[in-house]
């Protein structure tokens, strides 16, 4: 499948990105305008709905802007752009899977019988209170990855720790949350 290139050649696109990498917001705005629809079509072709596709296109441009200083003209600009876009799409898919898993786990926990259901706090409140009991290191990972819906790579960058450490902390946080919720329910 050939990825769409907006009109105006690859050299012009690469030149705009090089200008953007030096902080030229006008050049970056030209790239956004030029590739907004092609990016949306890229996401739609990958099975993403219109609204999510627009969000992913916006995230792609944000990621492109934030990494503009690292742009090197070694391949076609569109190859670079669609690689960033695909990574954004994959991050969003992984994040959705993690969120569903956590929601499923919390739903299973909520299905456990309680002695006094009328006096029990709302489930969301119960979970937030349990998260507040975690160590700061575990709490940070849960808040960023789950509550703020950030991919592990972003959490890693934000906290200045390796992705493997993020995963380990998330595993330990979920284990600890289960213990806390089990203890409260017994």
Residues 72 and 122 grouped into a single domain: no
Q: What is residue 121's predicted lDDT score, i.e. its pLDDT?
A: 46
Q: What is the dihedral of CA 111, 147, 46, 35, to 10 degrees?
A: 160
- Is 4 inside any structural domain? no
Q: Mean of the pLDDT values across residues 138-146?
A: 83
Domain with 174 in it: 112-185
Residue that finishes a domain, picked among 89, 104, 120: 89
- Is 102 inside any structural domain? no
**Two tokens, residue 129:** 């209170």
- Is 94 inside any structural domain? no
**Two tokens, residue 12:** 């012009």
Q: Specify the CATH number for the domain of residue 174.
A: 1.10.10.10
- Is 118 inside any structural domain? yes
Whether the predicted pLDDT of 146 surpasses 90: no
Q: Specify the CATH number for the domain of residue 74.
A: 1.10.1740.10
- Is 174 inside any structural domain? yes
- Is 66 inside any structural domain? yes
Residue that finishes a domain, picked among 89, 122, 139: 89
Residue 62 or 115, more confident: 62
Q: What is the pLDDT of residues 86-123, one digit of tens each?
A: 889 888 888 877 778 777 777 776 665 554 444 444 55
Q: What is residue 4's predicted lDDT score, i.e. its pLDDT?
A: 44
Whether the predicted pLDDT of 1 surpasses 70: no
Residues 123 and 64 grouped into a single domain: no
Percent of the chain with pLDDT over 70: 87
Residues 160 and 125 grouped into a single domain: yes
Q: How far apart are CA 112 and CA 110, in angstroms?
A: 5
Residues 27 and 78 grouped into a single domain: yes
- Is 103 inside any structural domain? no
Q: Which long-range contacts (CB under 8 A, 24 or more apart) does 87-92 make?
A: 87/63, 88/56, 88/59, 88/60, 88/63, 89/43, 89/46, 89/48, 89/56, 91/151, 91/153, 91/154, 92/52, 92/56, 92/59, 92/151
Report the number of distinct structural domains present in the chain. Answer: 2
Q: How far apart are CA 47 and CA 42, in angstroms?
A: 9
- Is 104 inside any structural domain? no
For residue 140, name the pLDDT band (cuts at 50, 70, 90). confident
From residue 59, give the alpha-carbon distance in Å to each of 54, 63, 65, 81.
9, 6, 10, 12
81 burial (CB, 10 Å; 0-12 / 13-18 / 19+) is buried
Residue 72 or 36, more confident: 36
Q: How far apart are CA 16 and CA 26, in angstroms?
A: 9
């Amino acid at each position: 499948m050939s990825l769409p290139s907006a009109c105006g050649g690859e050299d012009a696109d690469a030149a705009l990105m090089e200008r953007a990498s030096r902080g030229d917001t006008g050049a970056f705005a030209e790239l956004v305008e030029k590739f907004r629809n092609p990016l949306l079509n890229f996401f739609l072709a990958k099975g993403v709905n219109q609204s999510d596709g627009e969000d992913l296109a916006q995230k792609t441009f944000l990621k492109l802007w934030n990494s503009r200083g690292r742009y090197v003209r070694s391949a076609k600009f569109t190859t670079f752009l669609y690689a960033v876009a695909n990574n954004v799409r994959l991050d969003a898919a992984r994040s959705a899977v993690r969120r569903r898993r956590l929601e499923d786990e919390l739903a299973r926990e909520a299905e456990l019988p309680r002695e006094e259901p009328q006096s029990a706090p709302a489930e969301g409140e119960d979970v937030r209170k349990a998260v507040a009991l975690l160590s700061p290191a575990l709490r940070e990972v849960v808040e960023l990855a789950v509550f703020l819906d950030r991919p592990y790579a972003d959490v890693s960058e934000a906290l200045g720790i390796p992705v493997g450490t993020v995963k380990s902390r998330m595993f330990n946080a979920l284990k600890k949350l289960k213990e806390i919720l089990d203890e409260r329910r017994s």
